Amino acid sequence: EADAEAEARLLLQEARESIEAARSYRRELEQRLRGLHQAREQIRESATLTRDVLEQHFSDLKGTLKKLLDERLTSLLQEVDAIEQESIKPLDECQKLIEHGVSTANDLLREGESAVHGDVGQQNEKLCSFTKKALHIQLDSLPEVPSLVDVPCLSAQLDDCLLTILKNQIFRHGTVASRPPVQLEEFVEKPGGILVRWCKVDDDFIPQDYRLQYRKGTASHFEDVYVGSETEFIVLHIDPNVDYQFRVCARGDGRQEWSPWSVPQIGCTTLVPHEWTAGLEGYSLSSRRNIALRNDSQSCGVLYSKAPTYFCGQTLTIETVGQPDRRDSLGVCVEQQNGYDSLQRDKAVCISTNGAVFVNGKEMTNQLPAVTSGSTVTFDMEVVQLGPSSNEGGNFKLRVTISSNNREVVFDWVLDQCCVSLYFGCSFSYPGWKVLVF
């Protein structure tokens, strides 16, 4: 009986495992069905959109071509009218002159015939008057009439090669692509931002520039956020836990038009943006509190971040340079400690504006270049566990890399507990320093 019960339990366990495997298998199949449905919808929606774009484009072309042809026809007809009027005008003047001459000759003929056939007593007087009038009219002077070869003969020269050129251009105009030449590749969460990376997927396409756009949630319009030759960009001022849609296109080498847009993808960050703590007398902050300016106040102290939001890969960018001082500091720390005028203290690592690196208040022998205008100081870290468990209070170390002006130092920073996130801070002795953190 015991063997039977054990066998039954085994069979029951195997059945349950098979049921769970079948459920998992069904879930995977359903997920793939959803994927197929999304792919089918993408093909249909993109095909419908492409048809609409093509129909609208060629409709606009036809309207524009008709307008241009009508304008050209009107111009040529006006040219014909102008030549006709200019050429007919001297002929009309010559016609009036000849008609006047014919009328004068008719009058002269009637007068001459009357003189010849008139009374004998008045004949001599009439003949004398007629002869004087005939001499005055100059009957041997005739107006010149232009020959047909000397007057314009209008014609239209219409070269049929225009149709051939247009036909060749139209047949080459426009292309239909099954997929865009560039696609979004990766989204990396940043505090208050998203690092967007993209890549070229068409080997025959040679990009010159890229164009990245985004829109918040279900907003109707995309906005340009980057245009340039890089294949990644950090989009800042992103609200945490809000979906943003991104798309990218490219412009081929030597071309003016942009390629089709990539498939829109959703990116999101769960990391709150970096902010400096407001209220410290020696510093003025921007509206978003991500930029700190050392003002001319005599007060001196460490300006800390509002919260421990530092993670691996944070970048501190120096935008404006003031007068350097060895006491200056720019770095990260485990906790806020008031009463210090520098991060050159315990539980902190920092770099001074003259390039000196301090770990727990002690200066390292390795030194970085001095911070100059436009310098970028980058802190990267990875956690290395030394103790048996983070829950038992064992020792931990952070492998820290500080980079500045294309040089870097790497060292191990030993702590008494694991820190998932750190505060960042800065202190400057002289005014004029401006620090952007992202």
My answer on whether 153 and 50 are in the same domain is yes
Residue 131, both tokens: 């002869």
My answer on whether 157 and 191 are in the same domain is no
pTM check: above 0.95: no
Q: What is the DSSP letter of 370?
A: P
Residue 334, both tokens: 């485990």
Tell me how far apart the alpha carbons of residues 105 and 333 are, in angstroms, rounded to a whole number: 122
Tell me how far apart the alpha carbons of residues 234 and 226 are, in angstroms, rounded to a whole number: 9
Report the pLDDT value the prediction gives residue 294, as an integer from 0 to 100.
Answer: 93
My answer on whether 102 and 56 are in the same domain is yes
The closest of 374, 379, 312 to 351, measured between CA atoms, is 379
What residues are paired with 211 via a beta bridge? 227, 249
Report the pLDDT value the prediction gives residue 316, as an integer from 0 to 100.
Answer: 76
My answer on whether 341 and 257 are in the same domain is no
Specify whether the CB–CB gap between 402 and 409 falls below 8 A. yes
Tell me how far apart the alpha carbons of residues 156 and 163 are, in angstroms, rounded to a whole number: 16
Report the pLDDT value the prediction gives residue 392, as an integer from 0 to 100.
Answer: 44
My answer on whether 289 and 387 are in the same domain is yes
Residue 363, both tokens: 């200066």
Which residue numbers in the chain have pLDDT < 70? Answer: 1, 118-123, 138-140, 313, 385-394
Report the CATH number that the domain containing residue 240 is assigned in CATH.
2.60.40.10
Question: Which of 172, 194, 212 delimits the end of a domain?
Answer: 172
My answer on whether 306 and 420 are in the same domain is yes
Report the CATH number that the domain containing residue 309 is assigned in CATH.
2.60.120.920
My answer on whether 399 and 306 are in the same domain is yes
My answer on whether 317 and 420 are in the same domain is yes
My answer on whether 136 and 191 are in the same domain is no
What residues are paired with 210 via a beta bridge? 228, 250
My answer on whether 77 and 218 are in the same domain is no
- Which residues, in sequence order, are CB contacts of 375 under 8 Å at separation 6+? 317, 318, 321, 404, 405
Number of separate domains in the chain: 3
Question: What does DSSP say about strands 291-294 and 265-267: parallel, antiparallel, or unpaired?
Answer: unpaired
Residue 203, both tokens: 């080997």
H, E, C per residue of 371-419 = CCCCCEEEEEEEEEECCCCHHHCCCEEEEEEEEECCEEEEEEEEECCCC
CA 97, 103, 105 angle in degrees (round to 5)?
Answer: 100
Supply the range of the domain harboring residue 138. 10-172
My answer on whether 97 and 225 are in the same domain is no
197 φ, ψ (degrees, to nearest 5) = -120, 145
